[in-house]
Amino acid sequence: MRRSMLVLFAVALLWACTAEQREALVKITATQKILAAQYPDGTVNVNLMNDRHLVIAVLNSSFNGKPATERAAQARKSAETAFQSLGGDLDDVRVSFVSRKGIGVTITNTIDSYAFKADELKKK
């Protein structure tokens, strides 16, 4: 029942969007799926703000317990992947590794957060 309600909501949302908004939603969804494959043990949330700023939150992945140097390298890889997936038309990409616990009431803790400007992510 809940799944069918979500599908109905998604269809209504798409119907209410302009063609440009639908295209952006499809691109964001595809990017989220690509990133999720990089973190099979976690959850990936992707948010595009004002069409220019991408925020990626990686929840409860094994990278939370790894050294900061490994998280930084993985964050750069994820930022580059997302930047290219969205056509490189962004000002910046932020990647955060987050711990989230709880049922009903959740406790969220950002382990590390990395910001990358578009110039850093463009292929040379």
Q: Work out the burial of residue 116: count CB atoms within 10 Å of its CB; fewer than 13 is exposed, 13-18 middle, 19 or more buried.
A: buried
Handedness of CA 61, 53, 51, 110 (dihedral sign): positive
Q: Which two tokens stand for residue 113?
A: 């957060």
pLDDT for position 19: 74
The yes-or-no verdict on residue 88 having pLDDT over 70 is yes
- Cβ–Cβ < 8 Å for 61, 74: no
SS3 at position 92: strand
**83, 118 in Cβ contact below 8 A?**
yes
Indicate whether this model's pTM tops 0.85.
Answer: no
Question: Which of 2-6, 21-25, 65-69, 105-109 has the least mean pLDDT?
Answer: 2-6
pLDDT tens, 14-70? Answer: 666 677 777 888 889 999 999 999 999 989 999 999 889 999 999 999 999 999 999
Q: Match 């969804």 to its residue by tokens.
A: 29
20 half-sphere exposure, CB direction, 13 A CA radius? 1
Q: Please check the confidence at residue 73 and state whether its pLDDT lies above 70.
A: yes
Q: What domains are there in the chain, each with its CATH number? A: 24-121 (3.30.70.2960)
pLDDT at 64: 94
